[in-house]
Amino acid sequence: MNAATAPIPPVVPVRPPASAARRLVDAIGSMRLAVWTMLFFGVLTWAGTLAQKDLGLYVVQRDFFESFFVRWDTGVEIADTFVLKIPLPGGYLLMLVMFVNLVVGGMLRVRWSARNIGILITHLGMAFLLVAGFVKMHYSYAGHVALYEGAKTSTMVSFHDFELALLRKDGDAILERTVPEALLAGSPLLDDAALPFTVRIGNWMQNCEPRQKGPMFEVDVPVVKDPSGAGVYLSQMEVQPERERNIAGCYATVVDRKTGAESTGILWGADFRPHDERRSPFTFEADGKTWGLDLRRVTWDLPFAVRLDKFQKSDHPGTMTPRDFSSWVTVFDDGAEQQFHIYMNHPLRREGHVFFQTNWGPQPGSSLRGPPWYSVFEVASNPSDYWPEAASYVILFGLLLHFVLKLFRYLRSSNHNATLPEMS
């Protein structure tokens, strides 16, 4: 074969090299990134589930799924020298990456045409689902309300979190100002020029209880003396994985701006609802007024009041395990009264708040006995309450549309092939 008869190679168009920005956009919107993200989600869920046994639900949710990064302590000792800790991307970071990947890959890079309309809608629904999670995490709050029959309340309290409340009585009202728990652990000085005193928080303890000081032992925290001479101190307790079982506490030192007089009190966040709603703050005098400092579960005021009219529980035969339980409540709102029946999967929804029937008490084994029983509702305020449901419908519609269009295209192509003339 000579050169004159050699076949001429086909001409391949040469693409100009992609710019760095284009390559970045391609990478961000790539299927590869989507697969890696899903893979890490799987690993994170597996690791979080294992860690929950030791750390509890609250800590795992916070450290694994609401974080950017997590160091997963596997508990596996390597050669008796160190414990294997594996760094992983946190759930927050993964969801952020997934959101960007969805938007870039599934909505910007994809060709906007009628044939892709189903895919676009599906990706839009998925992005909406992630936005709903973001809004819930940052703009929702949840707590509980526990009521005996006949009792009425218009407040709900957090399961987990505490706050410092500065209280002052003003006629029939209470004036209050609060500081969230997250700002209390670093021994902050609360120095507000509008107040006639400063408050220094110290010895923050996640789980503790007040005890009386005896003569035969010393403690490494301040001992606060009552007028009777009795000494009281805060005793650190082992922190429980179930965060709702921990009762935080701290010391508060109040310094009067005018006189310089100091008084120290113990704050302890125990909550005895529904048996006793009254709070007993550390009380002091300043500027001729009586003030109180209280460490309490974060407390929210509802825009309406709820009264438990009736609680009903039936047990499995011969046991104290409830078969079902439900509550009848009356809602008081602007002078109007309305009755509701709350039971499993049938919550009360009102003014942005959802009341779920979640528990009851006194539980067997506690020092109290029922009847009378009390009913416990989990109350959530979530602006994106309905968004996941709406997103699911959007995703469903997008997928259906895509499959139907695909089916039509397939059928049309089959008919077209069947009508072509046979080539001879």
Scanning residues 203 to 222, which ones bind another protein (CB under 8 A)? 210-212, 214-217
By CB atoms closer than 10 A (0-12, 13-18, 19+), residue 254 is buried
* Residue number with CB closer to another protein (46 or 69): 69
For another protein, the binding residue among 370, 388, 401, 405 (CB under 8 A) is 370
* Residue number with CB closer to another protein (279 or 341): 279
* Residue number with CB closer to another protein (156 or 329): 156
Q: Determine the Cα–Cα distance for residues 345 and 135; give it in Å rounded to an integer.
A: 23
For another protein, the binding residue among 150, 303, 352, 383 (CB under 8 A) is 150
Token pair recorded at residue 37: 């993200």
For another protein, the binding residue among 130, 137, 232, 401 (CB under 8 A) is 232
Q: Which of 149, 116, 203 is nearest to 399 (CA)?
A: 116
> In whole angstroms, how close is the CB of 275 to another protein at the nearest point?
8
320 binds another protein (CB under 8 A): yes
Q: Which residues pair with 208 in a beta bridge?
A: 236
* Residue number with CB closer to another protein (281 or 388): 281
> In whole angstroms, how close is the CB of 230 to another protein at the nearest point?
6
**Which residues 109-148 are close enough to bind another protein by CB under 8 A?**
148
By CB atoms closer than 10 A (0-12, 13-18, 19+), residue 291 is buried
Q: Determine the Cα–Cα distance for residues 163 and 334; give it in Å rounded to an integer.
A: 29
Q: Which of 415, 394, 380, 420 is nearest to 158 (CA)?
A: 380
For another protein, the binding residue among 61, 116, 140, 155 (CB under 8 A) is 155
Q: Is the peptide bond before 17 cis (omega within 30 degrees of 0)?
A: no
* Residue number with CB closer to another protein (119 or 201): 201
* Residue number with CB closer to another protein (71 or 177): 177
**Which residues 336-365 are close enough to bind another protein by CB under 8 A?**
364-365
- In terms of phi and psi (left: phi > 0; alpha: psi -120 to 50; beta: otherwise), the region of 93 is alpha
- Count residues near another protein (CB under 8 A): 72
Residue 255 and residue 198 in contact, taking contact as beta carbons nearer than 8 Å: yes
Check the CA dihedral 178-183-187-190 and report its sign. Answer: negative
290 binds another protein (CB under 8 A): yes
For another protein, the binding residue among 283, 339, 392, 413 (CB under 8 A) is 283
> In whole angstroms, how close is the CB of 384 to another protein at the nearest point?
24
For another protein, the binding residue among 27, 39, 174, 407 (CB under 8 A) is 174
Tokens 């302590």, residue located: 73
**Which residues 252-281 are close enough to bind another protein by CB under 8 A?**
265-266, 268, 270, 275, 277-281
Token pair recorded at residue 2: 């000579």
* Residue number with CB closer to another protein (92 or 374): 374
Q: Does residue 27 sit in helix, strand or coil?
A: helix
For another protein, the binding residue among 27, 35, 230, 261 (CB under 8 A) is 230
What are the Cα distances from residue 332, in Å, to 144, 300, 303, 337, 409? 18, 17, 9, 5, 58
Q: Does residue 68 sit in helix, strand or coil?
A: coil
Q: Determine the residue type at 129.
A: L
Q: Please identify, among the stretches 134-142, 172-180, 351-359, 414-422, the one whose residues bind another protein according to the rule CB under 8 A.
A: 172-180
Q: Please identify, among the stretches 104-112, 137-145, 173-181, 324-332, the one whose residues bind another protein according to the rule CB under 8 A.
A: 173-181
Q: Please identify, among the stretches 20-28, 125-133, 179-187, 379-387, the one whose residues bind another protein according to the rule CB under 8 A.
A: 179-187
For another protein, the binding residue among 345, 367, 415, 424 (CB under 8 A) is 367
Q: Please identify, among the stretches 61-69, 124-132, 182-190, 404-412, the one whose residues bind another protein according to the rule CB under 8 A.
A: 182-190
Residue 281 and residue 294 in contact, taking contact as beta carbons nearer than 8 Å: yes
Q: Which residues pair with 307 in a beta bridge?
A: 152, 330
Q: Does residue 232 sit in helix, strand or coil?
A: strand
